[in-house]
Amino acid sequence: MTSHLSRRTLMTGLCGAATLPALGAAAGKAVAQQAVSLRAAYHLTPPSGWLSDPQRPAVTPAGHQLYYLHSDRNNAPGWWQRASSPDGLTFADGGTAIPLEPNFPVWTGSSVIDTENTAGFGAGAIVVLATRPSGGDRFRQEQYLYFSTDGGVSFTAYGAPVIPNPDGSDWFRDPKIHWDAHRGEWVVVIGRPQSFWFATSPDLIHWTYRSSFGYADPNIGGFECPDLFELTADDGTSHWVLGGSTQGDYTGRPDTYAYWTGSWDGATFRPDSRDPQWLDWGWDWYAGVTWPDPGSPTTRRFGLAWMNNWHYAARTVPTDVSDGYNGQMSITRELRLARQPGGWYTLLSRPHPALARRAKRTVVLPDQNVDGAKVLEFASDAYQLDLEISWSDAANVGLSVGRSADGSRHTNIGVYAGSVYVDRRPSDRADYSFGTYGQSEAPIDPTARSVRLTVLVDRQSVEVFVGAGFTVLSHQVFFRPGDNGLSLYTDGGAARFSGIVVRDFA
């Protein structure tokens, strides 16, 4: 038993990962040292303190009720904080929803609306299952129930765990529950070492184990924040999707959200293919959650994630100093399931459709023919950029965002040797370095001679959506104040940059 117990300090021993840095100082102590705010302009951040895993929102008449893990110190024991939104894109703080108890933190889980009162707390009650380490013992990760009768503002603890730990493993976490309308029962999926654990229930209280789905070779670590949902594809066929956050870099894969398409028969998930696909190829899209788009729940979902990575998460960052907080969520993205020419199905991502309407101004820049480098006449630290790049012989084409006035600092986004990449190393800060995790890349068609990009830049992040959204790369970037320029570049030949539209949120 430890006096200060956080879920990820427990992970390090099991995963074999390097020891995480020491806990940061209490949030806000050094805010006065830096006058310029670095707070994200259009991403969800906490009012103060530490933010990590999001919890799938409950959509109520009052809007989306999103919860996230929150603490007053970096990577310390915490609670569920509420953030409400009318559309799942722009959030306002709603205070503590499930509080911290001494030596008994609340970890990740999920909420559902019990429309038919199956649990007996009242029709329309919001019911949560969340992992807690019983007695502060890491080997007793168990699933506890909470319920709310005030629309998700506050919760009451039910009591003893409703899903006890079946074998004493210290990796039995993050229950994700949904109503299976085909069979009239609740389904939960729980993350385990290299597997998913499934159970069903008539009432959210009494659960029956059904099966497990394992994936051990290649090693992508244990599964956290698992996800199971049904979605209708663009050809009208219905498919189940099983996903979860992983440590894929063990074997050269992303540290983000791996997923399989397949079928669910009420007891067993059967994948369409052995190996997973990836919802994001960057370093910072972890603990992702998805939920139905209320406007089209069978064909579209929304998703967002914590923009961080456990290789470097538990440390002080620039916003601790400038604004007294640590952590932000990704932009909310829209997800659709699309059939590919080979007959397989994949999730396509694009920024939430309402994001463009939040722009304070829209700037259309002239097309550019570039052979070398070109600095554009635009400056902002928070915007969405859409453009197309086409080339014939160039070996490397791209753009630099967050460019300092002298050009020495910038983050590169480009295409080289059959890959699209984000390289934040030229923006790296010695005092907050990302070390060896400076660049990520994702495969694209090596014969392609054009690419369409949507780039989201905020004061401490970059997200890149490629083409129709099959590939996304999400990153923290610790831009300094004044890193707000934009330039284009090529190596080994010329390229044309066209359709350049910037939506400014600053």
pLDDT at 336: 98
Among 107-121, 133-147, 171-185, whose mean pLDDT is lowest? 133-147
Contact indicator for 465, 356 with CB cutoff of 8 Å:
no
238-279 pLDDT tens trace: 999 999 999 999 999 999 999 999 999 999 999 999 999 999
Residue 9 resides in a domain: no
Structural domains in the chain (count): 2
Residue 138 resides in a domain: yes
The reply to whether 269 and 202 lie within a common domain is: yes
How confident is residue 4, by pLDDT bands cut at 50, 70 and 90? very low
Which residues are paired to 141 by β-bridges? 133
Q: Which of 221, 217, 84 has the alpha carbon at shortest distance from 153? A: 84
305-323 pLDDT tens trace: 999 999 999 999 999 999 9
How confident is residue 283, by pLDDT bands cut at 50, 70 and 90? very high
Mean pLDDT calculated for residue range 323-343: 98
pLDDT at 34: 47
Residues 6+ apart with CB under 8 A from 341: none
pLDDT at 135: 85
Residue 474 resides in a domain: yes
**Helix (H) and strand (E) counts for the chain?**
2, 35
pLDDT at 9: 43
- DSSP E strands: which ranges in 376-484? 383-391, 396-403, 411-416, 419-423, 439-443, 450-458, 461-466, 471-476
The reply to whether 58 and 149 lie within a common domain is: yes
6-55 pLDDT tens trace: 444 433 333 333 222 222 333 333 334 446 999 999 999 999 999 999 99
The alpha-carbon radius of gyration of the chain (Å, integer) is 22
> Can the peptide bond before residue 105 be classed as cis, meaning omega within 30 degrees of 0?
no
> Among residues of the chain, what percentage have pLDDT more than 70?
93
Residue 375 resides in a domain: yes
| Rounded Cα gap, residues 357 and 336, in angstroms | 21
pLDDT at 412: 98
DSSP letter (8 states) at residue 332? P
The reply to whether 344 and 363 lie within a common domain is: no
| Rounded Cα gap, residues 191 and 212, in angstroms | 10
pLDDT at 104: 85
Residue 24 tokens read as: 């940061």
pLDDT at 5: 39
Residues 6+ apart with CB under 8 A from 430: none
The reply to whether 326 and 390 lie within a common domain is: no
The reply to whether 208 and 156 lie within a common domain is: yes
Q: Please report, for residues 58, 114, 423, the alpha-carbon distance to residue 205 in angstroms, rounded to integers and kept in the order given.
A: 19, 12, 47
Q: Please report, for residues 71, 103, 165, 276, the alpha-carbon distance to residue 78 in angstroms, rounded to integers and kept in the order given.
A: 4, 10, 21, 32
Burial classification of residue 84, based on how many CB atoms lie within 10 Å of its CB (0-12 exposed, 13-18 middle, 19 or more buried): buried
**Mind telling me the catalytic residues?**
53
Residue 72 belongs to domain with CATH number: 2.115.10.20
The end-to-end CA distance of the chain, in Å, is: 47
For the cut 80, the answer to whether the pLDDT of residue 384 exceeds it is: yes
pLDDT at 289: 98
The reply to whether 436 and 342 lie within a common domain is: no
Domain end call among 323, 351, 379: 351
| Rounded Cα gap, residues 286 and 52, in angstroms | 9
Residue 480 belongs to domain with CATH number: 2.60.120.560
Among 15-29, 56-70, 136-150, whose mean pLDDT is lowest? 15-29
> Among residues of the chain, what percentage have pLDDT more than 90?
90
The reply to whether 177 and 309 lie within a common domain is: yes
The reply to whether 270 and 177 lie within a common domain is: yes
Residue 211 tokens read as: 């099966």
407-464 pLDDT tens trace: 999 999 999 999 999 999 999 999 999 999 999 999 999 999 999 999 999 999 999 9
Instruction: Enter the pTM of the model.
Output: 0.93
Domain end call among 303, 332, 351: 351
Residue 14 resides in a domain: no
pLDDT at 102: 85
The reply to whether 386 and 317 lie within a common domain is: no
Residue 434 resides in a domain: yes
Residues 6+ apart with CB under 8 A from 55: 66, 67, 68, 69, 80, 108, 109, 110, 111, 128, 130, 289
pLDDT at 351: 98
The reply to whether 69 and 144 lie within a common domain is: yes
Domain end call among 291, 324, 351: 351
Contact indicator for 96, 81 with CB cutoff of 8 Å:
yes
| Rounded Cα gap, residues 175 and 163, in angstroms | 10
How confident is residue 296, by pLDDT bands cut at 50, 70 and 90? very high
Q: List the domain range (segments joined by +) for residue 278.
A: 50-351
Residue 232 resides in a domain: yes
Mean per-residue pLDDT of the chain: 93
DSSP 240-280: EEEEEE--GGGGTS-SSEEEEEEEE-SS-EEESSSS-EES-
The reply to whether 306 and 425 lie within a common domain is: no
Q: Which of 313, 283, 317 has the alpha carbon at shortest distance from 480? A: 317
Residue 41 resides in a domain: no
Instruction: Name the strand (E) or helix (H) holding 336.
Output: strand 333-339
> For residue 350, which phi and psi values (nearest 5 degrees)?
-150, 155
pLDDT at 169: 86
pLDDT at 131: 97
The reply to whether 243 and 320 lie within a common domain is: yes
| Rounded Cα gap, residues 288 and 26, in angstroms | 26
Contact indicator for 496, 452 with CB cutoff of 8 Å:
no
Mean pLDDT calculated for residue range 351-374: 98
